[in-house]
Amino acid sequence: MATTVTEPGLERVERLGRIWVEPRGVLGWLTTTDHKRIGLLYFFTTLAFFGAGGIEALLMRTQLAQPNEKVLSPETYDQLMTMHGVTMIFLFVIPMTTGAFGNYLIPLMIGARDMAFPRMNALSYWLFLASGLFMYASVFMHVAPNAGWFDYVPLALKEFNPGRNIDFYALGLIFNAVSSTAAAINFIVTIFKLRAPGMSINRMPLFCFAMLAVSLSQIFALPSLTIDLVYLEL
């Protein structure tokens, strides 16, 4: 007579499997906390913003193709120049390297199942997406930021820019800075605490060292930038 032998801890493993499973379809992507899916969300979102930034660049170059072109008004040109810079720096380069490649590769490289704080990881992505959508909403409302991607003074002062353009710039970057700060904390804790047994700091891949250095620099730089943006908004 055959007997069934239950492996020790099998029931616990099954319970954990039910906890980690995610819904299928669109709902699964919207509620995911899996680092691979979040990395892919970052990747395709940043590609979309990259396309928008490329269109802005083409419009600017079309305006500059010949003297006295009338493709863009002076105000629209300033807005496109600002949005192009903001898009390429804050909505493409930084989130592509840290959000897309970092989220997807870091846990795999150090032997971790996921990031240290999966829900914080998801929050970072949605804050990043909100910042981009918020700033691009200003384009359709004809109040896009227009003082340069670095918010140059005196162009950003109320005497020269009395509209709501700078408000959209400041609020959008506040969301973006909070997102990057949360992501940096997540990367630092993940790299220091979730490495596989036997993987010392000296044995980590070079990409992990690069992400650790970037995250440490963000921890020091972004809180002060966020406070500055809050004061700018006030």
For all residues of the chain together, what is the average pLDDT? 90
- pLDDT tens digits, residue range 75-118? 999 999 999 999 999 999 999 999 999 999 999 999 999 999 99
Name the residue with higher pLDDT: 3 or 226.
226
Provide the CATH number for the domain around residue 61.
1.20.210.10
Residue span of the structural domain in which 144 resides: 33-233
**63 touches 69 (CB < 8 A):** yes
| pLDDT (0 to 100) of residue 56 | 95
Report yes or no on 2 lying in a domain: no
Report yes or no on 59 lying in a domain: yes
- pLDDT tens digits, residue range 193-205? 999 998 998 999 9
Report yes or no on 111 lying in a domain: yes
Report yes or no on 21 lying in a domain: no
| pLDDT (0 to 100) of residue 59 | 95
| pLDDT (0 to 100) of residue 8 | 60
Report yes or no on 220 lying in a domain: yes
Q: Structurally, how many domains does the chain consist of?
A: 1
| pLDDT (0 to 100) of residue 91 | 96
Q: Residue 24: left (phi > 0), alpha (psi -120 to 50), or beta?
A: beta
SS3 content of the chain, % helix, strand, coil (to 5): 70, 0, 30
Any idea how long the chain is?
Answer: 234
- pLDDT tens digits, residue range 46-86? 999 999 999 999 999 999 998 888 898 989 999 999 999 99
Report yes or no on 140 lying in a domain: yes
Query: Residue 5 — pLDDT band, cuts 50, 70, 90?
Result: very low
Query: Residue 6 — pLDDT band, cuts 50, 70, 90?
Result: low
Report yes or no on 192 lying in a domain: yes
Report yes or no on 46 lying in a domain: yes
